[in-house]
Amino acid sequence: MREIRYRTIADELRRRVSDGTHAAGRLLPSEADLGAEFDASRVTIRRALESLRDEGLVDARQGFGWFVSAAPLRQSLGRLATIEAQLAEGGIRPERRILEFAFERASRDVREVLGAEQVLRVRRLNLADGEPFAVVTVWCRSELGQHLSRADVERSPFYELLDVPLKGATQTIGADAAGSEDSRLLQVPVGSPVLRCTRVTTDTDGRAVLLSEHVFAAHRTEFVVDLPQAEPSIAPTGLRLVE
């Protein structure tokens, strides 16, 4: 009887995945919530989920629980480009939703990087095929962004909007845990793993013109670095220990 029950539950969850009720990359309800919905034991729910994992429809990761399987959203770090452009190249529909747009006094950390007292701060939510995958905050010196509107930054990346020739960027990526606000926006549990990326973009004179912080849901994203030449060590290049 238990075997029939878990198959019935698996069939219903499979239907929800196939019809888009649970979209690719979306977290599923917890095992406890599914147990309450189907009036089934946790053992039965897990067996149903494991059968779907064997089919490649769902997966589980520590700190997240179960989610609908999807190819990871990848960003190559070998060139100065937005992840949206790289997603579009792969046939994925990128979208930006502006959460905050404000000219304000720079915080100490931002002031130290950009060397400016007044900045434009833009906070947005990035989505892929309608599903959130990153919360992004961008700062630029106010004189560089004074001609910009909320609609501008929702439509185009800063790289295309600033009238400044760019040289490149330095990007730092580390592991973190999702706080309450990021978890709400990314639709992941509080404390679940995220990738936190800080990027400083410079002009051709080497002056910082953009500072950005990106918080990515770790179960949906990965960064790829192309190494043009084999290194004498097996350790990743650029690795730095932090306290």
* 132 part of a folded domain: yes
CATH assignment at residue 39: 1.10.10.10
Q: What torsion do the CA atoms of 7, 9, 12, 13 make, to the nearest 10 degrees? A: -100
Q: Residue 20 sits in which domain range?
A: 2-68
Diameter of the chain by CA atoms? 72
User: 69 or 9: whose pLDDT is higher?
Assistant: 9
Distant-in-sequence, close-in-space partners of 207: CB < 8 Å, separation ≥ 6? 115
- Which residues on adjacent β-strands are paired with residue 173? 197
Contact between 38 and 52 under an 8 Å Cβ cutoff? The reply is: no
Domain boundary pick from 68, 86, 101: 68
Give the domain CATH number at 166: 3.40.1410.10
Q: DSSP letters along 19-76, please? A: TTSS-TTPBPPPHHHHHHHHT--HHHHHHHHHHHHHTTSEEEETTTEEEE--PPEEEE
Residues 125 and 37 in one domain: no
- What contacts 105, CB < 8 A, 6 or more positions away? 117, 118, 119
> Do 52 and 123 share a domain, yes or no?
no
One domain for residues 81 and 181: yes
- Rounded to the nearest integer, the mean pLDDT of the chain is 85
Domain contains 236: no
pTM (global) more than 0.75: no
Of the three residues 38, 68, 98, the one that is the final residue of a domain is: 68
pLDDT digits (tens, 9 = 90+) for 143-166: 999 999 999 999 988 888 988 898
Model pLDDT for residues 24-33, shown as the tens digit of each residue: 777 888 899 9
Cα separations (Å) of 13 from 36, 38, 55, 66? 14, 11, 12, 12
Query: Number of structural domains, the chain?
Result: 2
Q: How confident is the model at residue 228 (pLDDT cuts 50, 70, 90)?
A: low
- 19 and 88: one domain? no
79 and 182 assigned to the same domain: yes
